[in-house]
Structure 1
Amino acid sequence: MSHLPAVTWVEPYAKAHEAAWDALVAASDNGPFLFQQSFLTYHQDRFQDQSWLVWQGQELRAVFVAATAHTTTAPDVLIAHPGLAYGGLVTVAQPKYTEVAAWLELLRAAWQAAGFRQLILKPVPRVFCRQPSEGLLFWLHQQGARLTGRELNSVINLTRPFRIGTWRRGNLRKARRHGVVVAATAADSEYAAFWDILTQNLLQVHGRRPVHTLAEICRLRDQNPDHIELWVARIGVEVVAGVVVFQDTHQGFVHTQYIAGNPFGKQTGAVDAVLAHLLEVKSAHFQRFSFGISTVHGEVNQGLLNQKEGFGATAETTDTYTLELQ
């Protein structure tokens, strides 16, 4: 009997594929929980999904996370992903490079047939991958893709000892003197209190609001209770600082999505108290801690970077590539 290899083919994502999509992401080498459909669809009012599936016969081998913004002036530019910090190819069972390259060629042909002239891709950074693989990056290089953006993330390996610097240790002593207490909370009232602090900080420093509204982050928390947490610092009953973490035990990371403190919280070292507590409690269950980027369009915010490096973080880049399709 002949055993011919199953035909490989690609198709756009549709709602009927949700269970297969989520199962692949949950088992994947590099697909964080943000790629689950329960998370991806929270902002479907702003983005048109343009994700794709890679099949080998009836087996789903990979997915490609991408979209276009409803308000875009360039609907023929495919972005992976405009509503997230990254996107692109998600694989399972560590495929060979020849397989990855063949899948990407099929996807490129499909994108061209769909009328896309350009791909802007922000690959999943290594810190968020259980099993990093750079086959996609090599394929992009081979196809003449341009590196069009590079930001600086700060990362701690939680499986190895790390040293908190003198300045940060001083802030932790200050927090203890002021009676700062750190705890996780799921209370809507404390989410609201922290969101007020966060919004004021972002408006004053950057002139913008948080990416997520309070209603959105609470809905995402309820849909992803194991993946999204708020840790607050209280002095008495007042919330003076907090950190929202996105975490994924399968991929092995904790990421500080939002960090903020009010003036009293900053004065009393409360922000550093939350971060130090997180590093202590999360090291038992996670391998890597991501502080997030300290750059805007490649320009370093030195104060922000100093804070993260004061906890022992080292630099890791997050990149953007542009590939012409036509």
Structure 2
Amino acid sequence: MTEKHTSFKIVKYTSAYYNEWNGFIENSKNGTFLFHRDFMEYHKDRFEDFSLLVFKEDKLLAVLPANKLEQEIHSHQGLTYGGLILPKMVKFDTVIAVFAQLLKYLKGYGFETLVLKQIPSIYSKVFTEEIEFLMFILKAELIRKDTLSVIDLNNKLKISNNRLEGYKRGVKHNLIVKEEAGFELFWNNILVKNLQNRHKANPVHTLQEITLLKKHFPNNIRQFNVYNQDEIVAGTTIFESRFVVHSQYISGNADKNTLGSLDFLHYHLITEVFKDKKYFDFGTSNENNGLHINEGLQFWKEGFGARMLTQNFYRVPINNYQLLNNVFI
């Protein structure tokens, strides 16, 4: 590590850094609204925050959204993705130095491992795979690899006949798609019932939580419902970032195949509402900690032209930080 990178200051996040943190996320190369403190803190009672800021003199160089769990640091268990957030103009030597100092800092607190949940590449403004390379150097363990089904909206593949037939059934039944300001109908009439009946589970976000998040991020969190004769039959909750539209929740009632409601909805979103975005991310079809894929769900997503992107999860031995000292020759 070069001498010019030995004067970093690392601090734990407090509310005193609220504006500086959020401003950095807004202008970073791989940050999204999920890293805004108003999003991270809607469930702060569930996690012991251990987010870090890295400064050189008075300049903020990186942030790590993170939480503490016993002797491990996680990036962040309450978020879909995470990792080290960096400025657009950062160079590789600085990334190495920042990451080495972060690990050294965590070692000083007695932590043994850092669990990284990498942000998928489609969410970044510019290339940002420096950390993937550092995982190799640090001998990190790849503990999970999820798959995302993503449509490249600038290079769309043909929609399958199955999905087009579903869309046509929606047209035949005079289905209507509406963007709604509230989530009550979808949560109470469709989503919660389906998750309870099929998986004995609840949505990650309660109705109160998603409503609060919508208040904070009205342009990023959007609800689209499908109606048949004024009755809600399906819907999706969208998380929209600069380049990516992500279906956070997708659900329909028992008539979804007969009506073609979900096909009708997503055909409309892909070809009309979000046609000018770069990517449409259906999210993962993985189950059992990433080891298996729900075949029917994957088939449905691929019918719209989605193809596979992967998201890596690493366990980093913090004591290995010295391996970053001799990367350059």
TM over 0.5: yes
Residue type matched to 2:177 in 1? V
Q: Distance in 2 between matches of 1:322 and 1:282?
A: 39
Q: Counterpart of 2:10?
A: 10
Q: Counterpart of 2:65?
A: 65
- After TM superposition, list the pairs within 5 Å mapping 1:68-147 onto structure 2: 68=68, 74-147=69-142
Shift, 1:278, TM fit: 1.0
- Equivalenced residues, count: 313
Q: Counterpart of 2:327?
A: none
Q: Distance in 2 between matches of 1:134 and 1:6?
A: 23
Indicate if the aligned counterparts of 2:28 and 2:85 stay in contact, CA closer than 8 A. Answer: yes
Residue type matched to 1:64 in 2? L
Residue type matched to 2:89 in 1? Q
Q: Counterpart of 1:260?
A: 251
Two-structure CA RMSD over aligned residues (Å): 1.5
Indicate if the aligned counterparts of 2:285 and 2:297 stay in contact, CA closer than 8 A. Answer: yes
Q: Which structure 2 segments of 5+ residues have no match?
A: 320-329
Q: Distance in 1 between matches of 2:88 and 2:50?
A: 24
Q: Distance in 1 between matches of 2:281 and 2:5?
A: 41
Q: Counterpart of 2:185?
A: 193
Q: Distance in 1 between matches of 2:199 and 2:87?
A: 39
Q: Which structure 1 segments of 5+ residues have no match?
A: 69-73
Is 1:304 equivalent to 2:311 in the alignment?
no
Deviations 1:223-274 (A, max 9, x none): 100100000100121111000000112xx11100000001123420111111
Shift, 1:286, TM fit: 1.6
Residue type matched to 1:19 in 2? N
Q: Distance in 2 between matches of 1:48 and 1:267?
A: 46
Q: Distance in 1 between matches of 2:141 and 2:255?
A: 45
Is 1:247 equivalent to 2:240 in the alignment?
yes
Q: For residue 290 of structure 1, give the secondary structure of its aligned residue in structure 2.
A: strand
Q: Counterpart of 1:46?
A: 46
Q: For residue 286 of structure 1, give the secondary structure of its aligned residue in structure 2.
A: coil
Shift, 1:5, TM fit: 8.3
Q: For residue 152 of structure 1, give the secondary structure of its aligned residue in structure 2.
A: strand
Shift, 1:6, TM fit: 9.4
- The two structures have a TM-score, normalised by structure 1, of 0.93
The structure-2 alpha-carbon separation of the partners of 1:310 and 1:284, relative to structure 1 and needing over 3 Å to count, comes to closer
Indicate if the aligned counterparts of 1:159 and 1:283 stay in contact, CA closer than 8 A. Answer: no
- The two structures have a TM-score, normalised by structure 2, of 0.92
Q: Counterpart of 2:315?
A: 322
Which of these residues, 194, 214, 220, is aligned with residue 227 of structure 1? 220
Runs of 4+ in 1 over 4 A off after TM superposition: none
Q: For residue 91 of structure 1, give the secondary structure of its aligned residue in structure 2.
A: coil
Indicate if the aligned counterparts of 2:269 and 2:275 stay in contact, CA closer than 8 A. Answer: no
Indicate if the aligned counterparts of 1:127 and 1:290 stay in contact, CA closer than 8 A. Answer: no
Residue type matched to 1:76 in 2? Q
Q: Distance in 2 between matches of 1:33 and 1:132?
A: 19
Q: Counterpart of 1:163?
A: 158
Residue type matched to 2:308 in 1? A
Q: Counterpart of 2:196?
A: 203
Q: Counterpart of 1:71?
A: none
Q: Distance in 2 between matches of 1:207 and 1:162?
A: 36
Residue type matched to 1:35 in 2? F
Q: For residue 107 of structure 2, give the secondary structure of its aligned residue in structure 1.
A: helix
Q: Distance in 2 between matches of 1:310 and 1:132?
A: 29
Which of these residues, 286, 289, 293, is aligned with residue 295 of structure 1? 286
The structure-2 alpha-carbon separation of the partners of 1:24 and 1:282, relative to structure 1 and needing over 3 Å to count, comes to farther
Q: For residue 39 of structure 1, give the secondary structure of its aligned residue in structure 2.
A: helix
Shift, 1:285, TM fit: 3.8
Indicate if the aligned counterparts of 1:254 and 1:282 stay in contact, CA closer than 8 A. Answer: no
Identity within the alignment, %: 32
Q: Distance in 2 between matches of 1:132 and 1:183?
A: 36
Q: Counterpart of 1:148?
A: 143
Q: Distance in 1 between matches of 2:257 and 2:33?
A: 31
Residue type matched to 1:146 in 2? E
Q: For residue 99 of structure 1, give the secondary structure of its aligned residue in structure 2.
A: helix
Q: For residue 26 of structure 1, give the secondary structure of its aligned residue in structure 2.
A: helix
